[in-house]
Structure 1
Amino acid sequence: MSNVETEPVELKCGARTDAGEPTGPASRVDVLGARDVPLGGPRAMRVRRTLPQRARTLIGAWCFADHYGPVEVATGHSMDVAPHPHTGLQTVSWLFSGEIEHRDSLGTHALIRPGEMNLMTGGHGIAHSEVSTPATTVLHGVQLWVALPGEHRSTERDFQHHVPEPVRVDGAEIRVFLGELAGTASPVRTFTPLLGAEIVLEPGASVALTVDTAFEHGLLVDSGDVRLSGTLLRPAELGYVPTGTAALTLVNESQDPARTVLLGGPPFEEEIIMWWNFIGRSHEDIVRARADWEASSDRFGQVEGYPGSRLPAPALPNAVLTPRRNPPRG
């Protein structure tokens, strides 16, 4: 998915200040709200963006999280994101309902369906489009980005598809699309250690999940009221837990099933600059990527089969991109 804001926020994400902080069983959970963002014009679908924000720019290498729906496509709130570029990152698409047609400059033509993960690697440069299909009545899901480490940020374009098998643990159904959790592991290749899983809790269910103490974690609540390690999270909120935590307890305090997405990874130690759909290491990296896209450079290739024009890049700010860092933990 593209960040189609006409004036995208410029972010310089610094090395983490809370890496390695030990925490015990009663680990503090930071509750992060979402920012409402339109994907395009006045009738466009709106998304709830929990990453990046001023309070936290990364969780592991996860650097972007959009949460959208459920929306009725019949009301005109469909997804139609024209061809657009990416550099220095991977995109992860995960649906709860609906169907999206994906096309990219690798020549990939694939459908995104509930319970099936599509991971696209931008690296040096890729372009893609995403359009909800005529079969879609309700569109609902998340779009996530992963920052690539410096040694791999110019890697070749790639596309992977994975359908994780659900596992049952204490009233929870878990689908691990990246990394390892609850005795199951995803075969999908990543460039840093990562965790990505959908967890659906039955009404009143409580589950304790053993996690890697080297990881920090974020739990995004899609539906229901969920208590994460003692802290209540409501729909569209993201709970952040720092490194040093060996187990996460999730309790569904709702009368209905609760759906969540758990993200994790070791603190990302590199400074990155993120603007629009590009991730680089300097202001000049971003300027160059934007110029290459506007010049229709071979760097990004062509997306075949989309019935329309590609997205133009927004104007750059009239200043060098300025740093925004995660705050130190008190």
Structure 2
Amino acid sequence: MSSFEADPEVGLSAPATLELLEGAPVALGGPRGFAVTRTLPNRQRRMVGAWCFLDAYGPHDIAGSGGMRVAPHPHTGLQTVTWLVAGEVLHRDSLGNVREIRPGQLNLMTAGRGISHAEVTPESHTPTLHGVQLWVALPHQARDMAPAFAHHDDLPVVSENGLTTTVLMGTFAGVTSPAICHTPLVGAEIVLAPSAESTLTLRPDFEYALLALDGAPTVEDATLKPGPLLYLGSGRDAVRVATGSASRLLLLGGEPFEERLVMWWNFVARDHDEIVQMRADWSDHTPRFGEVHGYDGDPLPAPAMPISRLVPRGRTR
């Protein structure tokens, strides 16, 4: 973890430091799977608001290759958020939804008590794939809700001061996304034109983080490059961003999530025994997760349970 001194004039009660959270390389689907960088959960910090998982990938050159291929797998207790900078991903789920997502569009799948889906690069595709996959933890009152899926291709966009902001979820820059949230949170993509400089207005009761998707933007006095997640903390009412060349940021924020969670494989639960039951339901092909039709291949098998009991944890380690 690296720290940078924050400008005391930004925010009425700005924290003293920012935290740079390094990502871990992960191969989706096994050792030869699709390469991503995972910054949430992190050794220092498990969540930002209800955002509990962040994989960033690309830009990958997939010309002449199959690109992404993630076989059918289950989810519980969360929402999956898919956002692309370049390329295409074909989503299939056990509710029967088949949807190709492209840049500027949001795929939002709410797992609730259980759903399964597959994500692949379509047969006809452009040569570059670049994007993020995120999870939002569902609060106790929503975690066993019926599964659902929504595709949003007309998100609100605000352009001013050299910044073009697309609001994925929640409210930011005076506009609100149509995507359904179950806790107070925000997600937004901010594209900075060359030489842009501006101040983002924040909510002091939210905690925030920023991820550079491309370029080398400056956040306060820190230069951020693709890879690490910059945690801003809470108590801020503003943050300064600037860039020399064109850059792109992903802003995540939300009310600190106070429930303790167990996150294992593709499941979000509240204790070890719930995870055991979820794994058994997937392995035994019970109706809980349904079936993904149209995928050419077998679903992902669940990994073995760890020897020790899984322990619920808070939003920090």
TM-score after normalising by structure 1: 0.88
Tell me which residue corresponds to 1:142.
132
Q: Is the 8 A contact 2:260 2:312 kept in 1?
A: no
SS in 1 for 2:71: strand
Deviation at 1:229, TM superposition (A): 2.6
Identity %: 48
Q: What residue number does 1:80 align with?
A: 69
For each residue in 1:230-257, what CA deviation from the matched residue of structure 2 results, as whole angstroms up to 9, or x when unmatched?
32222212111122111121111x4x21
Q: Which residue of 1 aligns with 2:239?
A: 248
Give the Å deviation of 1:45: 1.9
1:315 correspondence with 2:287? no
**1:30 and 1:241 in contact (8 A); partners too:** yes
What secondary structure sits across from 1:207 in the alignment?
strand
2:59 aligned counterpart, secondary structure: strand
Contact kept? 2:23, 2:39, Cα under 8 Å: yes
Q: Aligned pair count?
A: 305
Which structure 2 residues correspond to residues 116-131 of structure 1 after superposition, within 5 A? 116-131=105-120
How far residue 77 of structure 1 moved from its aligned partner, in angstroms, is 6.3
Aligned to 2:255: 266
1:52 equivalent to 2:41? Answer: yes
The answer to whether structure 1 residue 223 and structure 2 residue 192 are counterparts is no
CA distance in 2, matches of 1:232, 1:322: 36
* Contact 2:87-2:125 within 8 A present in 1 as well: yes
1: CA distance between counterparts of 2:66 and 2:100?
19
Q: CA deviation at 1:325?
A: 4.8
Residue 276 in 1 paired to residue 262 in 2?
Answer: no
Equivalent of residue 156 in structure 1, options 140, 146, 150: 146
Distance in 2 (CA, whole Å) between partners of 1:114 and 1:27 is 36
Distance in 1, matches of 2:186 and 2:239, equals 13
Partner letter of residue 147 of structure 1? A
Structure 1 distance, partners of 2:316, 2:221, is 22
Query: Could you say what the CA RMSD is over the residues aligned between the two structures, in angstroms?
Result: 1.7
Aligned amino acid, residue 320 of structure 1: R
Deviations for 1:56-100, whole angstroms, at most 9, x for unmatched residues? Answer: 100000000000011111363611111100000000000011111
CA change 1:146–1:327 in 2 (3 A) is: closer
The unaligned stretches of length 5 or more in structure 2 are 1-10
Instruction: Could you list the structure 1 runs, at least 4 aligned residues long, displaced by more than 4 angstroms after superposition.
Output: 323-328
CA contact (8 A) 1:51 1:58 kept: yes
- The 8 Å contact of residues 200 and 238 in structure 2, kept in 1 or not, is answered as yes
Distance, in Å, in 1 between the alignment partners of 2:148 and 2:249 is 27
Structure with more relative contact order (C-alpha pairs < 8 Å, separation 6 or more): 1
**3-state DSSP of counterpart to 2:289:** coil
Among candidates 192, 197, 212, match of residue 203 of structure 2:
212
Equivalent runs, 1:280-295 vs 2, <5 Å? 280-295=269-284
Q: How far apart in 1 are the matches of 2:12 and 2:313?
A: 25
Which shows bigger deviation, 286-295 or 129-138? Answer: 129-138
Aligned residue for 2:280, secondary structure, equals helix
**How far off is 1:23 after superposition?**
6.4
The CA deviation at 1:159 is 0.7
Q: Is the 8 A contact 1:26 1:230 kept in 2?
A: no
Q: Distance in 2 between matches of 1:86 and 1:26?
A: 35
Match of 1:37 among 15, 26, 30: 26
